[in-house]
Amino acid sequence: MAIDWLTVVAQLINFLVLVYLLKRFLYQPVITAMDNREQLISTQMTQAQQREQVAEERENEYQTELHSLQKQQNELLSQARQRAEKEAEQFLQQARKKIADNRQQWQQDLKQEQQDFLRSLKQQGSQTIIHIAQQLLKDLANRPLERQIIDVFIQQLASLDDKQKQALATDKTPVHIVTTFEVDDELRSYLKKSLQQFIDSRELLFEQSAELICGIEIRAEGQKISWTIADYIHKLEQTMEDALGS
């Protein structure tokens, strides 16, 4: 329990030296390192905050841009939809119009075809009828019929008015007698005798033609008087056309 003052002094000096040494090698470097780190972290924090702020600003910008893009997209979609609908409507209208046109064309064609068919039928029918009548009349044109035809023709001449009768009688040029049937001598003399009262003593020239179908015609200067079955056939044709047309 004794104090060695020499040791006390030595320990005092030792302690002060140790204080210096530790301050030099321990406290100062460690505190400096900690302060630097604190500074570094603080700087990093500030930078991080700045970056975060920038990032937030960017995010806001991008959000705004995104919203505007979405809006634009919606507008474009809406426009496209409207255009598509409009075009679809147009196409539909065009299609309807085309269908209507086609239908109209078809109806016209059908009508035309019908008309053509009717016309053709009419022509063929009339021709067939005429042909049959011709054939029939040809077959029936025997002498008594020919004489009968001449009689009917003479009756027609008799029913002419006086002026025509006068014109027929006064002229001196030959008279052409056209028939569809062959006129033999008997018929000639019968014709001469029958026509005597109308043409006086004018010369008679006989001709045969199938165009008249079945009948007789006299052709004098400026005059033509005939009786044929063709007239009746024309009337028949007219009646058929009327019936088919309606």
Partner 1 sequence: MILTPDDVIFFSLGSLPVNATIVYTWIVMSLLTTGSWLITRNLSSTPDISYLQNLLEVLVTGVRDQIEEITRQRSDQYLAFIGTLFVFIITSNLLAIVPGYYPPTGSLSTTAALAICVFIAVPLFGISNEGLLNYLRHYIRPSLLMLPFNLIGELSRVISLAVRLYGNIMSGTVIVGILLSLMPLFFPIVIQLLGLITGVIQAYIFAVLAIVYIASASSSQHQSNPLSDNETDQDSTTR
Instruction: Using CB under 8 A, list all residues that contact partner 1.
Output: 1-12, 14-19, 21-23, 25-27, 29-34, 36-37, 40-42
At 55 the three-state DSSP class reads helix
DSSP string for 89-143? HHHHHHHHHHHHHHHHHHHHHHHHHHHHHHHHHHHHHHHHHHHHHHHHHHHH--H
Measure the CA dihedral 123/128/129/134, to 10°. 120
Residues whose CB falls within 8 Å of the CB of residue 180, separated by 6 or more in sequence, listed in order: 141, 208, 209, 210, 212, 213, 214, 215, 216, 228
| Closest separation in Å from C-beta 59 to partner 1 | 24
CB nearer partner 1, residue 25 or residue 91: 25
CB nearer partner 1, residue 18 or residue 110: 18
CB nearer partner 1, residue 49 or residue 73: 49
**Contact, 188 vs 206, CB < 8 A?**
yes
CB nearer partner 1, residue 22 or residue 158: 22
| Closest separation in Å from C-beta 48 to partner 1 | 13
Spatial CA neighbour of 221 closest among 170, 182, 184 = 170
| Closest separation in Å from C-beta 77 to partner 1 | 49
| Closest separation in Å from C-beta 46 to partner 1 | 11
CB nearer partner 1, residue 12 or residue 55: 12
- Give the angle 198-203-209 at the CA atoms, nearest 5°: 90
| Closest separation in Å from C-beta 32 to partner 1 | 8
CB nearer partner 1, residue 31 or residue 158: 31
| Closest separation in Å from C-beta 30 to partner 1 | 5
